[in-house]
A and B are shown apart, each in its own frame.
Chain A
Amino acid sequence: MNEPTSKKAIYSLELYVSGESFISNRAIESVTSLCNDVLQGRYELKIIDLQKDPEKAVTENIVVVPTLIRKSPEPKRQIIGDLQNPERVMRGLEIHRTSLI
């Protein structure tokens, strides 16, 4: 049981938001629940509040928020929007349900 799982990629995700705005909170909730549902334990999700860490906007080249970045597996993928449509988020992250089973 453990073996095939370990071969599956670990998704390293970063979600960039701005403060506690409605749109930020909504994006955080929806990404968290999507990860729990679909990636069950095979993900790391970092939430970066640019109001607290604005330098990250320069180093990570952020223009709009929310921005969700898939750092790994490579190549890097980036998604913008409030992330309310799980199907589209998965498409953007290139996660295929079948490949996860």
Chain B
Amino acid sequence: MEKVTSGIKGLDSILHGGLPKNETTYVIGSAGSGKTMLAFQFLYGGALKNEQGLMVSFEEAEKDLLDDYAHMEMDIKHMVNEGLLTIDYVFFDDNTFNESENFTLDGLMLRLDYLLKKTGAKRVVLDSFKALFERFGGPVNFRLELTRLIKWLKTRNVTTVITGGQSKGTLGVEAYVADCIILLDQRVMGQLSTRRLRVHKYRGASHEIDEFPFILSSSGFVVTPINTLRLNHVALDTRISTGIKALDSMFGGKGFFKGSSILISGQAGCGKSSMAAKFIYDVCSKGEKAMMFQFEESKDQILRNMRSIGIDLKPFIDKGLLEIHSVRPTNFGLEGHLLNIIHAIDSFEPTAVTLDPITSFWNKDEDYGIKSLMTRIIDHLKSKQITGMFLHLMHGDGAFESQDTLISSLIDTWIALRNRESESNRYREIYIVKSRGMAHDHSIHHFEIDNQGFKIDRKKYE
């Protein structure tokens, strides 16, 4: 089976290559589920390769469609002006009287035939069968007409996407004539809405069978199939500095492995964020890009707090080397967070990423969710050889909590920080819980943070 790009990267991997060439794909979903978006991305993906596309719209006029999609990164209007995309609005005249049910879709077919010859279109969209059915449907033979239309399209050497609704959970008979069926779904869980897609059938071709969450952004569908069963990341031998000389020396003088996942755990106020900021500062100082995801503090707060200990991140933002994303954990569902994070990472392509704190997500009664979220983020970072640092806010006095075991297996290097009190003063301690694949320090050390930065006292316990 020859496949063509759907115009959506993530969907192509779910489809193991793309949509069936010169066949029909039926995209089913409720109103607002993203059907028309998918259809436009399909046409746009073709137009980018100079393939002519034809959009037959039964719902909206050309101008309205162009207005609706004007905010998108894909420039549909440009493609229309370039003559690579033709929109035919099939308008249903209200002043139409059904004399009988004995009519055929020959009008539409001849119309399509004419437009296909005129434009040389290789990709066609019919949006939507639902509108067509609502206007003309009813008689049993109209379903047969839709079936006849799909079969006719197969003979035209065009790759077709037809959108449709789902009535009472069942697919119309016409859907089964299509070679590929994609279901789009929008559901609400805990007041947060999540979109998912699934390939329901793909005749004669392999594809992923799971449901995949997606979001609709200004770049269209963001869907990331991460198969956690595939553990084929390249493990790099290259090292990346922790940004703190004394800490580097605890890792054999070289720091972390590049592309590894690092957990920094500790109670409030023991220096986790500062350590992360120092790491990021060091990455950016070397002219590489980094990204910070903050779930509790605003960008300005972070910049101010870090400046107070001598870590000025602002110049890196100005130079375009650093992006700080502040977002409330409750803004989206876990899936929404995952996709937003991955989308941001993919568009910025940083060397290192911090998430502060990952604990924010644990309030959401989704134990399974957090593990799966972390697995997928870590997987994604590893596949791109990006070093990921995760900050874990602990509430107790350093005793590990149940969640720790949830994610510790995913982590390559774990640094624990803690506050301690002696009779006369309060101090901080640091030690390495684990660090896979390298020799590392096993002692507990004192450390301090002041406006000069970090001071780790390695002698104290030796």
Contacts and interface: CB of A to CB of B under 8 A. Distances in A.
Interface residues of B, number: 26
Given A51-B110, A82-B103, A63 B97 contact: no
B110 A54 contact: yes
A64 B97 contact: no
Q: Which of B99, B100, B105, B136 has its CB near the most chain A CB atoms (within 10 A)?
A: B99
Nearest to A84: B100
A64 B111 contact: no
B461 interface: no
B152 interface: no
Contact of A16 (B90, B107, B114): B107
A21 B109 CA distance: 15
Given A54-B114, A57-B111, A78 B103 contact: no
Contact of A89 (B99, B103, B110, B115): B99
Interface in B365-407: none
Given A58-B115, A61-B90, A18 B100 contact: no
B296 interface: no
Interface string A47-75: 00011001101100111111110000001
Contacts of A62: 107-108, 111
A81 B101 contact: yes
A96 interface: no
B113 interface: yes
Nearest to B94: A78
A46 interface: no
Contact of A61 (B93, B103, B136): B93
B106 A55 contact: no
8 contacts: A18-B104, A64-B136, A65-B106, A75-B95, A77-B95, A80-B99, A82-B102, A84-B100
Interface of B: 88, 90-93, 95-108, 110-111, 113-115, 132, 136
